[in-house]
Amino acid sequence: MERGWTQGQLARVMGYESVSSLASLEAGKKRPSMDTLIKLEAAFQRPFRDLYPRYFDAVYDPVARRRSAFFRERSSSVSAGYGR
């Protein structure tokens, strides 16, 4: 655990009664819920992006690429006179 915390200590800070959910997250067997992500951010004072960089990138990057492609296509069609 980060900052020298045990799973039990982190579970207590996050308001959990047991460490089972944290153990599954730490082992990579379970993805965190939105509530858990917010609690982890609050506990560690670090953004989700830093806590789970691979998971964040796997979700974020495809959307960012599609967004960029969408606006490139939109810009091309507008400049060609198709967006009117």
Count of other CB atoms within 10 angstroms of residue 53: 11
Q: Which domain holds residue 28?
A: 1-48
Q: How many structural domains are present in the chain?
A: 2
Q: What was the pLDDT predicted at 24?
A: 87
Q: What was the pLDDT predicted at 2?
A: 57
Residues 44 and 68 in one domain: no
Q: Are 22 and 44 in contact (CB under 8 A)?
A: no
The DSSP-derived string for 19-51 is: SHHHHHHHTTSSPPPHHHHHHHHHHHTS-HHHH
Q: How far is CA 48 from CA 51, 74, 75, in A?
A: 5, 31, 32
Residues 40 and 67 in one domain: no
Residues 4 and 42 in one domain: yes
Residues 27 and 56 in one domain: no
Q: Could you report the per-residue pLDDT of 22-61, keeping only the tens digit for each?
A: 888 888 888 889 999 999 999 999 999 998 899 899 999 9
